[in-house]
Amino acid sequence: MNEMSSLQPPAAPSLAMQREPFTFTGTAREYFGIWIVNVLLTILTLGVYSAWAKVRRQRYFYGNTHLAGATFDYHALPWRILVGRIIVLVMLVLYNVTLQFLPLFGLLVFAIFMFAIPWFIMRGLRFNARVTSYRNVRFDFTGTYWGAFLAYIVGGLLIYGSVGLLAPVASRWMWNYMLGHLRYGGRPITCDPRLDKLYGQIWLPAFVLIGGGLVGLAIAAVVLVSAGLPALDPATASGWSIGVMVITMYAAMIPLFLVFLLAGLIYRAGVRNVVFNETVIDGRHILASSIGRGRFASISITNLGATILTLGLARPWAAIRMAKYMATVTALDSTGSLDAYTSALQNEGTATGSEFLDVEGFDLGF
């Protein structure tokens, strides 16, 4: 036995992978100063400053996101964002006016608008990719209109039409479109998550949704019965019992909303782990994601609660808190030095510098 094993050829050396974690160094105090100025100037300018606010916000978050000793950069010009938002605003105003005075024609406009949404999404993804760089090497997006139509229109119909049973199929289409058509320095990024792994992420949120819904309905039934509503005959029901029934119905919406939110967050975190772990950059660098689904849901829900209770003032703290967590659970497994890799891309002269500013288009807000 030992003789036979000694005759076997040595195994091929495995490709050495080096893990580079993402880190986020922004602080709530710094971002609060940016955020409050953005809010005040947006209000004073009736929304015009929102384009400049977005650029300031994105540059802060990109500039504080570190990978292998370098940060990301955001190069968008505010006026391009403003033009895109004006276009969308004019379209929405025209649609609402048409719907008000010509309802039948308004339905036709709505159908046309639905077919235009994939184009808006495609242009928005292309804009955001082309104004983003890492080590002075630009990203790009090559997705087509029909790819966006399949991912977002058909995928959305699949989700709602199947009551969520086909959500993993739609998720696969959407993520494949968003990440699978990205380019970094002209090099391809592939994203082809396995459907069985995506379906593995649907069971826990489904259990939470069904179980939480049943518990909520049971509690509502107990409250209604205890309020004396076994008989719902309008002729015999008292004003008090009807009032209790109405209050109970509305109060039940809050826990049902929280259950739906929790299930969605759990699913979203699980899908993100599956997708990122099967995303490969240029055939050599692999993204890694290790989100704890419970932790992600807890942060999201407490962030929402804090923002509501403080009338929005906790929004900067919540945004920084989430950014820090998402960075700690994200990494890049690379082959060799990223510095050497990006230097080679810069020497090739592909998608670097400011030439993309001339072809970035407009941000349409989708």
In the chain, what are the helix, strand and coil shares in percent, each to the nearest 5?
65, 10, 25
* Cross-strand partners of 67: 22, 70
Predicted local confidence at residue 102, as pLDDT: 79
Predicted local confidence at residue 352, as pLDDT: 44
| DSSP single-letter state for residue 352 | B
Predicted local confidence at residue 92, as pLDDT: 83
Q: How far apart are CA 151 and CA 148, in angstroms?
A: 5
Reported as a single tens digit per residue, the pLDDT across 354-366 is 444 444 455 655 5
Q: How far apart are CA 319 and CA 299, in angstroms?
A: 10
Reference 126, options 314, 356, 350; nearest CA is 356
CB atoms within 10 A of CB 170: 22
Q: How far apart are CA 336 and CA 284, in angstroms?
A: 9
| DSSP single-letter state for residue 359 | T
Reported as a single tens digit per residue, the pLDDT across 106-135 is 778 788 888 888 998 999 899 999 999 999
**Residue 139 pLDDT > 70:** yes
The mean per-residue pLDDT over the stretch 133-152 comes to: 94
Predicted local confidence at residue 356, as pLDDT: 44
Phi, psi (rounded to 5 degrees) for 273: -60, -45
Predicted local confidence at residue 332, as pLDDT: 96
**Residue 239 pLDDT > 60:** no
Q: Which amino acid is at 20?
A: E
User: What are the angstrom distances between the C-alpha of 98 and each of 23, 106, 109, 120, 290?
Assistant: 49, 5, 8, 21, 48
Predicted local confidence at residue 99, as pLDDT: 79
Predicted local confidence at residue 11, as pLDDT: 42
**Residue 2 pLDDT > 60:** no
Reported as a single tens digit per residue, the pLDDT across 165-181 is 999 999 999 999 999 99
Predicted local confidence at residue 354, as pLDDT: 42
Q: How confident is the model at residue 340 (pLDDT cuts 50, 70, 90)?
A: confident
Predicted local confidence at residue 7, as pLDDT: 46
Q: How confident is the model at residue 229 (pLDDT cuts 50, 70, 90)?
A: low
**Residue 12 pLDDT > 50:** no
Predicted local confidence at residue 234, as pLDDT: 54
Chain centroid offset of residue 229 CA: 44
CA dihedral 33, 35, 356, 87 (to 10 degrees): -150
**Residue 270 pLDDT > 50:** yes
What percentage of the chain exceeds 90 in pLDDT? 57
Give me 4's structure tokens. 């036979």
**Long-range contact pairs involving 187-190 (C-beta distance under 8 Å, separation at least 24):** 187/281, 187/282, 187/345, 188/282, 188/283, 189/279, 189/280, 189/281, 189/282, 190/279, 190/280, 190/283
Reference 130, options 365, 359, 364, 350; nearest CA is 359
Q: How far apart are CA 98 and CA 81, in angstroms?
A: 26
Q: In terms of pLDDT, which residue wins out, 13 or 62?
A: 62
Q: How far apart are CA 213 and CA 266, in angstroms?
A: 16
* Cross-strand partners of 139: 184
Would you call 99 exposed, middle or buried from its count of C-beta atoms within 10 A (0-12, 13-18, 19+)?
middle
The mean per-residue pLDDT over the stretch 240-258 comes to: 69
Q: How confident is the model at residue 238 (pLDDT cuts 50, 70, 90)?
A: low
The mean per-residue pLDDT over the stretch 68-73 comes to: 94
Q: Tell me the average pLDDT of the chain.
A: 85
Q: How far apart are CA 72 and CA 284, in angstroms?
A: 20
Q: How far apart are CA 132 and CA 129, in angstroms?
A: 5
